[in-house]
Structure 1
């Protein structure tokens, strides 16, 4: 990150404070800095500079002592996050040490964390799909939880704004329940994926297969190149950090953009203890920080504060920010702070093999897969009485490679030569389902279990319930049916459910709403009763849809920052 400014103002006073430097925090920093505010970003983890701090970005499989597998010692260090399968020898440095970051699982919760500058924007799956009013209106229509205070028309221009800057490659489909966006040229489907698409559209009305809409630069625009970002090289080493800046991350895009303004300061190694509230002004005036190197408590002050520490990080900070006015957590008049935790449920579907296309292959390691948009409970014609809401599918087709020889018996030249012959074709479909916002899916502070900084840890009590379980059965049934209809053989379903959290799309716990009695935030992501405090990460979500949420966080953040600047100019904050 060239010219990164880590020098903190001696007065500790700024126009704006941003807590967290991940996907939404990076966006808050960019927007506030570009609008002229001197902005301090507080990051609890270490400094990670773009490119220079990606130590494994160019290493090959054989360069790793354990051929990318975690050692026994690492398995103990990351004993929770190893459940996900996301962490390995190539990217472990971007994941939290589980031994140093304890929490209580009242029920199993796979909390995947990466505390460093850039946060999980260095690790995310990069799939980007807009919500529609099918999503924003779902709670009201189903009589579930509370209604969203916004609709698609409120966020639509901010989706476009975010997509242009990020760089989303994808294909327009013209579906009302999955709005098209501002897309770069799509990545290419391989021959089997094209075949399956044709068969699905021929045999199932309303089912579509497309390439994933993904935050990779397939054709960089001038504003991408100005930040030093370049075209995706199809290496599929994204979770190691991309030296080309081809996939979107805070480190490659939003933080450098903020830094260009000369209004940007970042302070790593800064664990936020709490937000300071002035009862006379009825405003948040600053943030208390524990310096992880000096162990000192430091305070910083600003006119507006954006809390973007990730869903559970933000909620933990708000719960720990108590005062006479807010004894149960800052802004928690409703009692909803910490409740309504959601995540997408997945890791189930079907897979099969295909006879044919032996003379065809594909080029590169495409860092993307296919996407089948939701087709259940869209309207009366697609309604099922088994469950409410819906699901989509991600997946991919491919051919077996040389790795298949690891467990084969063989010796000699013929065996070695056989490893260079591609194996047969296969394809998998993985369902992603919506989780409803249940009040009793919650997080609370455990005052009896402190972390290494003396802060209370979280106790997480959440699970998927009956609606999700019934949906999962249909996800498997539909996946098998679609693959068999497309001509695949040996089709079998699978279900590796694990715990909630492994979707890494934790949402809710500080939801948006119209009524301060039932929500934590208003339609502009302001904390009810604390108008200069904004929450625009996943904590703000009122429902979860079934699509990846990150582009929605980005759009909400840009929208809230624009609103905050307007309120500052009106002297309302």
Structure 2
């Protein structure tokens, strides 16, 4: 590693938060609101809410080539482009330059990143589903991975708190695999989606179609500094209305309002400093992204919320005599058990009729089909474990824009003026098992421009995921046919880990320090004043979008940390 001049900050903060995305924003809000002087460090540039959303009001015809990708951008972002939807002019400014921020692959991994204040909270898909008791018990019951050290009841009040603050719209269905939530009114299903819901509900007694639960404001409840969703479906550009939840519009302003937050962008944290005498962390080492100066910041408690991959990389680089293989890595599990959701599997259909039906606006989500396999003996599958949920929508210009991970920016003027035939489709999101051999490691031979090791991925879908995908397609076709649609076509597209943008598991929670990195409170087992609450902490992946769970776990951990600090119990841990 290249060392430059090092300076020491004289102030000792109560807390340091690494990262400003979904988890980091919540850590900042909760710690600051509990009176902790908190330094929030972000490796990327500053993004100010509204002021720094350059394409927020642009129409397709306002772009030089109607939102077509430029050769120049494609040359700089070849791996980001694998997603198919992130490098269009309307949103490419929020995604990293692959040449400036390289990574390596033993097996293909599509690492989609945004380095700026707010992180991927500015570009996320916003689907927000609680995990169920079944999800937290799965590892123990089927023997894959290690047992979660917590259960649904431990997270349930924090789900409620988070949902109340961020605003999640949807409809409760009273089913065990998708627990009821603290919801605002749902975005109505359109006429074809309603037909699909009715058809499925009439044909099956073990599966339902419901409204997507998304972090958009609906109804009459007010959220400070934010207004209702305007149905523009330009969410990934940054929402000037604050209609959807992001760190920039919500948690960071709440933290700033307390007067306890100091936000420092362009600050690349690369090491957490460990004190062998106190057996605690004392601070972090930061490289200024612009000047490349190294700075040490000190704090009593540290929250690592840089993302599943970046947090694991920071911990792996945090070496000492006590931890020669990375901070808290006695188990050797740090960087392992890498998970994501596998998808790009589902079905499409043509819809007859409804030519006189059209909807004003572009709602940003469609329907959701909760998991219905491997729930009980009746739904048990013989050739794979765990399960999948489905997201989809219906429309006259392409259903895929209802699923953020599949949108291709087809907001052309003709779509607004010449509605075509209705179509409907869905894609399934399947659970990936926690395999020890699916991992990320650091390459100290290939350094980035700041002299830091680059990440190398070695992960793949295995037999369980591939067998599940066969059934994912089969069941999607079955649902559309049951609803009476025509020309139903299943599909199984090529996908690789990372493309779901739900990386998890690289510093997992567990009951035993010999097989996990974190305890039930998201603390490193052997360094109790370091908390990891982003995707790295996850012990399994379930099939639901994970961000709501990250936020709930972060709020829970911040409350624990504040109490520990207040009672001065870290030193006795």
Q: TM-score, normalised by structure 1?
A: 0.94
Q: Any conservation in 2 of the 1:220–1:229 contact (CA below 8 Å)?
A: no
Q: Any conservation in 2 of the 1:167–1:220 contact (CA below 8 Å)?
A: no
Structure-2 separation of matches of 1:236 and 1:267: 31
Residues 314-336 of structure 1 deviation map (CA, whole Å, 9 limit, x = unaligned)? 00000000000000000000000
Shift of the alpha carbon at 1:363? 1.9
Q: Any conservation in 2 of the 1:326–1:332 contact (CA below 8 Å)?
A: yes
Q: Does 2:527 match 1:530?
A: yes
Structure-2 separation of matches of 1:445 and 1:220: 49
SS at match of 1:183: coil
Residues matched between the structures, number: 549
Structure-2 separation of matches of 1:418 and 1:296: 51
Larger deviation, residues 180-189 vs 64-73: 64-73
Residues 254-309 of structure 1 deviation map (CA, whole Å, 9 limit, x = unaligned)? 00000000001100000112011001110000000000122100000000000000
1:312-327 to 2 correspondences below 5 Å: 312-327=309-324
Shift of the alpha carbon at 1:457? 0.7
In the other structure, the counterpart of 2:29 is 30
In the other structure, the counterpart of 2:116 is 116
SS at match of 2:125: coil
RMSD (Å), alpha carbons: 1.4
Q: Any conservation in 1 of the 2:9–2:297 contact (CA below 8 Å)?
A: no
SS at match of 2:343: coil
SS at match of 2:10: coil
Shift of the alpha carbon at 1:420? 3.3
In the other structure, the counterpart of 2:464 is 467
1:271-420 to 2 correspondences below 5 Å: 271-400=268-397, 420=417
In the other structure, the counterpart of 1:100 is 100
Residues 419 and 375 (structure 1 numbering): CA distance in 2 closer, same or farther, change over 3 Å? closer
In the other structure, the counterpart of 1:165 is 165
Shift of the alpha carbon at 1:491? 1.0
Structure-2 separation of matches of 1:261 and 1:275: 26
Q: Does 2:447 match 1:439?
A: no
Shift of the alpha carbon at 1:486? 1.0
Residues 523-547 of structure 1 deviation map (CA, whole Å, 9 limit, x = unaligned)? 0000011000000000000000000
Q: Any conservation in 2 of the 1:167–1:216 contact (CA below 8 Å)?
A: yes
Q: Any conservation in 1 of the 2:274–2:320 contact (CA below 8 Å)?
A: yes
In the other structure, the counterpart of 1:405 is none
Shift of the alpha carbon at 1:9? 11
Please list every run of 5 or more consecutive structure 1 residues that lacks an aligned counterpart in the other structure: 1-7, 402-415
In the other structure, the counterpart of 1:249 is 246
Structure-2 separation of matches of 1:564 and 1:399: 50
1:149-298 to 2 correspondences below 5 Å: 149-219=149-219, 221-222=221-222, 224=223, 226=224, 228-298=225-295
Shift of the alpha carbon at 1:13? 2.2
In the other structure, the counterpart of 1:40 is 39
Structure-2 separation of matches of 1:561 and 1:452: 33
Structure-1 separation of matches of 2:200 and 2:215: 26
Residues 426 and 346 (structure 1 numbering): CA distance in 2 closer, same or farther, change over 3 Å? same
Shift of the alpha carbon at 1:417? 9.8
Shift of the alpha carbon at 1:221? 2.5
Runs of 4+, deviation exceeding 4 Å: 416-419
SS at match of 1:330: coil
Structure-2 separation of matches of 1:27 and 1:501: 24
Structure-2 separation of matches of 1:400 and 1:316: 42
Please list every run of 5 or more consecutive structure 2 residues that lacks an aligned counterpart in the other structure: 1-6, 399-412
Residues 376 and 547 (structure 1 numbering): CA distance in 2 closer, same or farther, change over 3 Å? same
SS at match of 1:460: strand
Residues 141 and 30 (structure 1 numbering): CA distance in 2 closer, same or farther, change over 3 Å? same
Q: Any conservation in 2 of the 1:220–1:230 contact (CA below 8 Å)?
A: no
Shift of the alpha carbon at 1:570? 1.6
In the other structure, the counterpart of 1:410 is none
Shift of the alpha carbon at 1:497? 2.6
